[in-house]
Amino acid sequence: MKDPVRIAITGAAGQISYSLAFRIAAGDMLGPDQPVILQLLEITPAMDALQGVVMELNDCAFPLVQEIVATDDPNVAFKDADFALLVGARPRGPGMERKDLLEANAAIFSVQGKAINDHASRDIRVLVVGNPANTNALIASCNAPDLDPGQFTAMMRLDHNRAKSQLAEKTGKHVTDVEKMIVWGNHSATQYPDLAHCSVAGTPAFDLVERDWYENDFIPTVQQRGAAIIKARGASSAASAASAAIDHMRDWALGSDGIVSMGIPSDGSYGVEPGIMFSYPVICKDGKYEIVQGLAVDAFSQDRMKATEQELREERAAVEHLLG
Ligand code: NAD
Ligand code: LMR
């Protein structure tokens, strides 16, 4: 039996966590042989609801769950944590852009970055889900100066999975036939889902779909998928977000099957401003991710990558006072 790992989940009484915590407890993130200690964080007014979630987790009698900690103190929630999924934040409503949440949510991530810095395992891997995820991840990492910024990542996997699903449906193939999907940039309406390197069952995507569909249907559909779900459900995506968070962390810890998209601190690759949390194509291996280098970028792609980079620069400028 392996030693248990400590997994902190914030916003643990919220919508996403209602799927996420149970799937992690079932072994979907780190495998069926990895015991887990769940460290669940909520704000004080939500502690009753969190107790209900803990009761249900207990009632599942999950074999892998060794202990559950439920707290409203970030210093307790992140104590010795090996993984942290920062979900707790306000979601947007109809008509809002994710960056409209910046002011409401930014303070959460500076406090939690400090608590992670002071209390978590030195090897912690952090995924920020709460929106605007990329800039919140930047705030958290800047408030954790004793850790490597590369230990902080932002969730782009939902966008990546959405893009795969749209292309598979269009080409009449299965999602597992889609390879080398890339979503660049920000988890926002400026994100750039890029088919230039993508193939479906071994055939280049551009041989299978019209340019017009790519530019005027595929790209906007993926960019606007979060808003479409809010309109249809009356609430933002939850189970699919939880599933993407599990995919992101599982691949980071255990290795990816080819290219995946992750929001990570830019090292300047592909001419992107260093430091911002930009989504790149990466391959995960041996517990680490590495940017896929040397991909050709044409003028169309360059324009879109610049636009999403510009938005991330503006978001960073808006929270400069929280970056330490
Ligand atoms: P929700 O409102 O159902 O749950 C959020 C929970 O966070 C609430 O229970 C709230 O009490 C808690 N919370 C608030 N402040 C907190 C704090 N300081 N510490 C701990 N907990 C805190 O929202 P949700 O639907 O679960 O969504 C959570 C966030 O995830 C939102 O910001 C949403 O926009 C974002 N999201 C991101 C993606 C992505 O792809 N990156 C996808 C879906 C949703
Ligand atoms: C999503 O992409 O579904 C989430 O970021 C929620 C949102 O506000 O769109």
Atom of ligand 1 nearest to the CA of 129: 41
Instruction: Flag whether the pTM goes above 0.90.
Output: yes
Same domain, 146 and 269: no
CATH number at 169 reads 3.90.110.10
Pull the structure tokens for residue 133.
């995820």
**Domain end point (choices 111, 131, 154):** 154
* Closest C-alpha to 87, from 20, 5, 183, 157: 20
Tens of pLDDT, residues 272-324: 999 999 999 999 999 999 999 999 999 999 999 999 999 999 999 999 999 97
Same domain, 284 and 298: yes
Asked whether the CA dihedral 50, 56, 234, 220 is positive or negative, the reply is positive
Same domain, 272 and 187: yes
Same domain, 94 and 193: no
Please give the distance, rounded to the nearest whole angstrom, from the Cα atom of residue 98 to the centre of ligand 2: 7
CA dist., res. 6 & res. 122, Å (int) = 13
Range of the domain at 150: 5-154
Which pLDDT score, from 0 to 100, does residue 103 have?
Answer: 85
Q: Tell me if residue 198 falls in helix, strand or coil.
A: coil
99, 102, 225, 237: which to mutate for ligand 2, most atoms within 8 A of CB?
237
Does 174 participate in catalysis according to the annotation? no
Which pLDDT score, from 0 to 100, does residue 93 have?
Answer: 86
Strand partners, 9: 40, 85
Same domain, 235 and 257: yes
Same domain, 123 and 166: no
Strand partners, 83: 7, 125
pLDDT at 212 over 80: yes
Residue positions forming the annotated binding site for NAD(+): 11-17, 105, 112, 129-131
Same domain, 166 and 115: no
Residue positions forming the annotated binding site for substrate: 92, 98, 131, 162
Same domain, 146 and 163: no
CATH number at 32 reads 3.40.50.720
Same domain, 255 and 146: no
Same domain, 225 and 296: yes
Same domain, 264 and 182: yes
**Residues written for the chain:** 324
Pull the structure tokens for residue 187.
């988890």
Q: Beta strands 36-41 and 192-194: pairing type? A: unpaired
Q: Whose CA is nearest to atom 7 of ligand 2?
A: 226
CA dist., res. 60 & res. 57, Å (int) = 5
Among the listed residues 187, 197, 248, 321, the single catalytic one is: 187
18, 50, 87: which to mutate for ligand 1, most atoms within 8 A of CB?
87
Strand partners, 281: 261
Nearest ligand to residue 242 Cα: 1
Give the pLDDT band (50/70/90) at residue 265: very high
Which pLDDT score, from 0 to 100, does residue 204 have?
Answer: 98
For residues 153 and 128, is the Cβ–Cβ distance under 8 A? yes
Q: How many domains does the chain have?
A: 2
Pull the structure tokens for residue 300.
């169309």
Asked whether the CA dihedral 109, 114, 115, 121 is positive or negative, the reply is positive
Same domain, 187 and 103: no
Please give the distance, rounded to the nearest whole angstrom, from the Cα atom of residue 280 to the centre of ligand 1: 24
Which pLDDT score, from 0 to 100, does residue 300 have?
Answer: 98
* Closest C-alpha to 10, from 105, 102, 94: 105
**Domain end point (choices 154, 180, 202):** 154
Give the pLDDT band (50/70/90) at residue 219: very high
Which pLDDT score, from 0 to 100, does residue 178 have?
Answer: 98
**Domain end point (choices 154, 176, 205):** 154
Pull the structure tokens for residue 172.
């009449």
The residue behind tokens 């299965």 is 174
